[in-house]
């Protein structure tokens, strides 16, 4: 599997050009189907418990639109930058792909840091913790699970970049990059529903 | 497992053609992104100006906007509109079906 | 590097194998072992209940045995043995050389195994879980020992393994079928594996969350199910049964598939109504997600909800009934040979139907107010699980034993096992319908004398001993066959219709020297009737690419095993040693994942010269 490629010989859809690639592509979409049910269970739990504040602060009191908007913009933009990375991968432009993947990671990191700041703010200002009420448990579990997924995604993309930085694109690593970017989009999809259902609906009251 | 089944050597014309196609697709992705930003702004605006709107309108509206964003992400960013995605789409929609059933349940069949 | 040249020590071979055939044997042995454990637990229950006011096993100890019997049998015995047949048979039936992800396949096994061992260590570490196999949030939250924590963590680990297996088989069946093998030419067993894997994919995430929330409440003090802080225990019930109902179809559909392969083979007649069987399987899978609240009729969901779920539950009987008629019509006019697998298959039909009709009785929500939590329900589900799934596992074991091990199990001993088990099964569970109707509640460790329950319970317990005896005879059969059994041919029973019978028994390491070309349904039968009885190859003889074995799946699983101990004793992060253990375990697991990602793995090749030389044995 040490085949060296050029722009002329790199296949059209490199992520699906091998049997391994086709299997990984399909299996990852299947996994996303399962993850949809996983997050739906967490969303359901949140929806059932969102008003059970046990006398503590409610969503409307705590959530700040500015913070959520910035976080959303960071993640949404990172989704676009990962699309750019895949665009360059298809064009066999290894260095540009790496650049855009790097920007994706930085934006994702910004998102995570903002979220950590947000959680600490709630815990200090409102004593709103994962144990303080059913609302707290369901909020931190849902949003925290999403955050954990973001964290895993960052580790994943970074590892891919470090491992493949020196050896260019081939049919062994192309499926890996493609799937990592699919994962990254999925995380953004989940965030769309989190900011809508948790934050925006919370602020509506 | 890792052998390339495609050993076609492309010439410059083909390469230019494929690059143009990729560039066109990238343009579509950018448009999608712009639309998603607008949808996000609309959702936030709906909530910030919630007092000027019927409360029964705001929540379904922002949910609808979220679903539209989901469609853009799935079909454009995740390439579901391209060929070779019928099986992935089938399984993803099956997952969505189970997810919707679950959500409906939690909204209606749980109370104290 | 030829596979003939390297001969690994047996233990290392099995610890590092990614070969689906060896993984199948691992699943069979582990599942078989846990079947014996669950069987012992059943015997203890029946010994306690053989007479009223018995003192053999009482109180919380009884609750532990009861909980573990159900949990072990469903998660650690039935499911792994089903996976054993998935692994042993499906790649062969679709003309593939392995599953889509051999490494992941191994990981799935070791995760299951480690989860099962972890769960059973609870017996020695303060007590097994005692809140029933359903571990409802209210009771489970307040269970004093760590038993429930063993349940939550053990099943969580095993569950990841199962989910991985589900994804693996879906990808395998979708992507790796031999040329000419369209979906509507797949053997019915492969179809049931396909639908079952889809059920696994969508049902297990709900269980994952349910277990996680309960674990958070118990180990980290969250408030999901704590009413005083706004929690609601119905959430757990919904999550559990949204998983739990598809789970029973995950158990029974493969059994249906096994019977659908065996009955045509030993009736020398093709499966009647193949398309309707496929359609019925898919419909059962789909409807299986719409009926879970029939386990919650008495929870106060209200008449409308109850009515919807009652009707949906009854609807599932329709495609199931279609299958029953198709099996009967397959046998009608056929040349029936009563081998042991065929005996199990024929006995399955009335036994499962009995379970099915009591299922319809339970589905009538008003009637269920009487049946719920009584022995009537216990009788119902044992009829469908034992009469369906366990009969299927016995049938499949006999049928595919030659393909897995190269020898046919002894028929005389097989028939003895069958008759002892069949008689014992009906003795134990038929009478339980009446015990339930007479008011005996389930999950109670005793009953009072003079209530008309004595004789029934005695009969029920005697039946259990018959089943225990039957199992011992089966074990003797396994050992006897290993020592004295005759070598089996590739088409071991002489009536093979499907691709697995076109290769030697046991299958060679690479399965097919050349991937076959499939010309129709019952691919091998088509060649027997219209060709020379051999499959036509779809590719020239060439080097065969094989996956490398690896110790990493085992290491990853052990890492989670270690982490689980840390999680259990962490005392809301105050026990620093436990937190250290947790971090160590996670480090081992994620470190292995990192190694797996970093180190390239391109497999190795079996050279074409060695294929011709290798002959029959792997």
Q: What is the CATH number of the domain that holds C384?
A: 1.20.210.10
Task: Tell me which residue in A8, A12, A72 faces B40 most closely, judged by beta carbons.
Answer: A72
For residue B85, the distance in angstroms to the closest alpha carbon of chain A comes to 9
- Residue bearing tokens 């066959």: C481
B103: closest chain A residue by CA:
A44
In this predicted structure, the answer to whether residue A51 has a pLDDT above a threshold of 70 is yes
B-C contacts (CB, under 8 Å): 44
DSSP assignment, residue C510? T
B101: closest chain A residue by CA:
A40
Find chain B residues with C-beta within 8 A of A41's C-beta.
102
Q: Using DSSP, state whether A4 is helix, strand or coil.
A: coil
For residue A7, the distance in angstroms to the closest alpha carbon of chain C comes to 24
Q: Are residues C560 and C440 in the same domain?
A: no
CB interface of C with A, residues 536-555, below 8 Å: none
Using CA atoms, how far apart are residues A56 and A61, in angstroms rounded to an integer?
Answer: 10
pLDDT of residue A195: 95
Find chain A residues with C-beta within 8 A of C164's C-beta.
none
Q: Are residues C111 and C89 in the same domain?
A: yes
Q: Are residues C111 and C258 in the same domain?
A: yes
Mean pLDDT of B51-67: 91
Q: Are residues C321 and C465 in the same domain?
A: yes
**Greater model confidence, B2 or B60:** B60
The H-or-E segment that residue C209 falls in is helix C188-220
pLDDT of residue C412: 97
Strands C544-546 and C604-606: antiparallel
Find chain C residues with C-beta within 8 A of A163's C-beta.
597-598
Q: Are residues C529 and C565 in the same domain?
A: no
Cα angle A123, A126, A130 (rounded to 5 degrees) comes to 45
Nearest to C47 by CA among C446, C474, C475: C446
Contact A132 C230 (CB under 8 A): no
Q: Are residues C514 and C580 in the same domain?
A: no
Q: Which are the contacts of C534, defined by CB distance < 8 A and separation ≥ 6?
A: C502, C527
Number of domains in chain C: 2
In this predicted structure, the answer to whether residue B112 has a pLDDT above a threshold of 70 is no
Q: Are residues C388 and C412 in the same domain?
A: yes
Task: Tell me which residue in B94, B97, B109 faces C305 most closely, judged by beta carbons.
Answer: B109
Using CA atoms, how far apart are residues C528 and C279, in angstroms rounded to an integer?
Answer: 28
Q: Are residues C442 and C587 in the same domain?
A: no
A138: closest chain C residue by CA:
C224
Q: Are residues C560 and C481 in the same domain?
A: no
B94: closest chain C residue by CA:
C202
Contact B110 C238 (CB under 8 A): yes
Cα angle C374, C52, C148 (rounded to 5 degrees) comes to 55
Where chain C has pLDDT below 50, the residues are 1-5, 614-618
In this predicted structure, the answer to whether residue B6 has a pLDDT above a threshold of 80 is no
Range of the domain at C584: 552-600
Integer CA distances (angstroms), C338 to C192, C261, C409, C534, in order? 24, 15, 14, 26
Using CA atoms, how far apart are residues B37 and A205, in angstroms rounded to an integer?
Answer: 24
**Greater model confidence, A195 or B6:** A195
Highest-pLDDT range among A9-23, B15-29, C82-96: C82-96
In this structure, are residues C155 and C115 in contact, taking their beta carbons and an 8 Å threshold? yes
In this predicted structure, the answer to whether residue B76 has a pLDDT above a threshold of 90 is yes
Find chain C residues with C-beta within 8 A of B95's C-beta.
201-202
In this structure, are residues C129 and C135 in contact, taking their beta carbons and an 8 Å threshold? yes
Dihedral of CA atoms C589, C591, C593, C596 in degrees, nearest 10, equals -140
pLDDT of residue A202: 93
For residue C562, the distance in angstroms to the closest alpha carbon of chain B comes to 33
Contact B1 A171 (CB under 8 A): no
Find chain C residues with C-beta within 8 A of B111's C-beta.
232, 234
- Residue bearing tokens 């309960």: C214
B2: closest chain C residue by CA:
C602
Q: Are residues C537 and C565 in the same domain?
A: no
Q: Are residues C461 and C596 in the same domain?
A: no
Contact A29 B87 (CB under 8 A): yes
- Residue bearing tokens 């109504």: C273
pLDDT of residue A1: 54
Q: Using DSSP, state whether C128 is helix, strand or coil.
A: coil
Q: Bridge-partner residues for C536, per DSSP?
A: C517
For residue C229, the distance in angstroms to the closest alpha carbon of chain A comes to 5
Cα angle C422, C427, C431 (rounded to 5 degrees) comes to 140
Q: Are residues C65 and C178 in the same domain?
A: yes
Q: Is B29 on the interface with A (CB under 8 A)?
A: yes
pLDDT of residue A80: 96
Q: Is B102 on the interface with C (CB under 8 A)?
A: yes
pLDDT of residue C612: 61
Residue C545 CB burial class (10 angstroms; 0-12, 13-18, ≥19): middle
Task: Tell me which residue in A11, A26, A172 faces B2 most closely, judged by beta carbons.
Answer: A172
In this predicted structure, the answer to whether residue A37 has a pLDDT above a threshold of 70 is yes
Using CA atoms, how far apart are residues C442 and C380, in angstroms rounded to an integer?
Answer: 12
Find chain A residues with C-beta within 8 A of C238's C-beta.
44
């Amino acid at each position: 599997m040490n085949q060296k490629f050029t722009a002329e010989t790199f296949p059209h859809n490199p992520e699906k050009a091998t049997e391994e690639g086709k299997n990984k592509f399909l299996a990852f979409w299947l996994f996303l189907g399962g993850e949809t049910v996983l997050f739906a269970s967490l969303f359901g739990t949140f929806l059932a418990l969102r008003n059970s504040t046990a006398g503590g602060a409610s969503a409307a009191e705590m959530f700040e639109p500015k913070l959520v908007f910035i976080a959303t913009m960071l993640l949404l933009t990172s989704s676009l930058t990962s699309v750019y990375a895949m665009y360059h991968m298809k064009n066999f432009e290894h260095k540009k792909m790496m650049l855009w993947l790097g920007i994706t990671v930085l934006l994702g990191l910004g998102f995570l840091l903002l979220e950590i700041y947000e959680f600490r703010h709630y815990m200090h200002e409102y004593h709103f913790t994962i144990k303080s009420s059913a609302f707290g448990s369901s909020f931190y579990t849902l949003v925290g699970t999403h955050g954990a997924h973001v964290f895993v995604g960052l580790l994943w993309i970074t590892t891919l970049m470090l491992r493949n930085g020196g050896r260019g694109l081939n049919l062994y690593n192309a499926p890996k990059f493609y799937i990592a970017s699919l994962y990254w989009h999925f995380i953004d999809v989940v965030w769309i529903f989190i900011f809508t259902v948790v934050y925006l609906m919370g602020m509506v009251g | 497992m890792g052998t390339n089944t495609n050993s076609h050597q492309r010439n410059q014309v083909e390469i230019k053609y494929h690059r143009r196609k990729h560039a066109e697709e990238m343009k579509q992705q950018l448009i999608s992104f712009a639309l998603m930003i607008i949808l996000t702004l609309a959702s936030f605006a709906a909530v910030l100006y919630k007092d000027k709107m019927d409360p029964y309108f705001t929540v379904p509206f922002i949910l609808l906007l979220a679903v539209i964003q989901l469609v853009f992400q799935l079909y454009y960013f995740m390439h579901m509109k391209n060929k070779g995605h019928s099986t992935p789409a089938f399984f993803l929609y099956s997952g969505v079906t189970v997810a919707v059933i679950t959500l409906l349940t939690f909204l209606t069949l749980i109370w104290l | 590097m030829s596979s003939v040249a390297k001969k690994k020590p047996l233990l290392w071979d099995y610890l590092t194998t990614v070969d689906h055939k060896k993984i199948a044997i691992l699943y069979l042995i582990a599942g078989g072992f846990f079947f014996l454990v669950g069987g012992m637990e059943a015997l203890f229950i029946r010994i306690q209940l053989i007479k009223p006011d018995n003192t053999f096993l009482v109180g919380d100890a009884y609750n532990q045995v009861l909980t573990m019997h159900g949990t072990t049998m469903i998660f650690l015995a039935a499911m792994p043995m089903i996976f054993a047949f998935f692994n042993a048979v499906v790649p062969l039936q679709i003309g593939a050389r392995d599953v889509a992800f051999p490494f992941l396949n191994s990981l799935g096994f070791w995760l299951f195994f480690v989860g099962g061992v972890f769960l059973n260590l609870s017996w020695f570490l303060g007590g097994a879980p005692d809140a029933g196999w359903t571990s409802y949030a209210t009771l489970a939250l307040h269970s004093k020992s760590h038993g429930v924590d063993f349940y939550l963590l053990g099943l969580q680990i095993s569950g990841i393994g199962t989910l991985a297996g589900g994804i693996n088989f879906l990808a395998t069946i979708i992507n790796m079928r031999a040329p000419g093998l369209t979906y509507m030419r797949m053997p019915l067993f492969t179809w049931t594996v396909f639908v079952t894997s889809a059920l696994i994919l969508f049902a297990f995430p709900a269980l994952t969350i349910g277990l996680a929330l309960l674990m958070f409440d118990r180990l980290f003090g969250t408030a999901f199910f704590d009413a005083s802080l706004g929690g609601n225990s119905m959430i757990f019930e919904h999550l559990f049964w949204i998983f739990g109902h598809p789970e029973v179809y995950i158990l029974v559909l493969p059994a249906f598939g096994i019977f659908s392969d065996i009955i045509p083979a030993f009736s020398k007649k093709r499966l009647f109504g193949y398309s309707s069987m496929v359609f019925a399987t898919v419909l059962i899978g789909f409807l299986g997600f719409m009926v879970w609240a029939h386990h919650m009729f008495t929870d106060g969901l209200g008449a409308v909800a109850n009515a919807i779920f009652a009707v949906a539950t009854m609807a599932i009987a329709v495609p199931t009934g279609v299958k029953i008629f198709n099996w009967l019509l397959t046998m009608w006019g056929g040349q029936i040979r009563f081998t042991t697998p065929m005996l199990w298959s024929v006995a399955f039909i009335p036994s499962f139907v009995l379970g099915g009709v009591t299922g319809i009785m339970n589905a009538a929500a008003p009637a269920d107010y009487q049946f719920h939590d009584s022995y009537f329900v216990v009788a119902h589900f044992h009829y469908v699980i034992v009469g369906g799934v366990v009969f299927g596992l016995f049938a499949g074991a006999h049928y595919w034993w030659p393909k897995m091990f190269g020898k046919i199990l002894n028929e005389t001993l097989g028939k003895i096992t069958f008759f002892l088990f069949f008689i014992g099964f009906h003795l134990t569970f038929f009478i339980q319908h009446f015990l339930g109707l007479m008011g005996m509640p389930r999950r109670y460790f005793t009953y009072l004398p003079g209530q008309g329950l004595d004789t029934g319970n005695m009969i029920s317990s005697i039946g259990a001993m018959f089943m225990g005896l039957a199992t011992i005879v089966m074990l003797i059969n396994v050992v006897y066959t290993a020592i004295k059994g005759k070598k089996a041919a590739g088409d071991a029973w002489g009536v093979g219709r499907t691709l697995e019978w076109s290769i030697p028994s046991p299958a060679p390491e690479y399965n097919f020297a050349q991937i076959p070309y499939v010309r129709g349904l019952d691919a091998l039968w088509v060649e027997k009737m219209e060709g020379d009885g051999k499959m036509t190859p779809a590719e020239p003889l060439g080097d065969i690419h094989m996956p490398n074995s690896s110790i990493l799946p085992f290491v990853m699983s052990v890492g989670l095993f270690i982490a689980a101990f840390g999680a259990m004793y962490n005392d809301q992060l105050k026990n620093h040693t436990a937190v250290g253990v947790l971090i160590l375990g996670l480090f081992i697991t994620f470190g292995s994942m990192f190694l797996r990602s970093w180190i390239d793995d391109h497999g190795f090749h079996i050279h074409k010269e060695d294929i011709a030389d290798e002959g029959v044995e792997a």
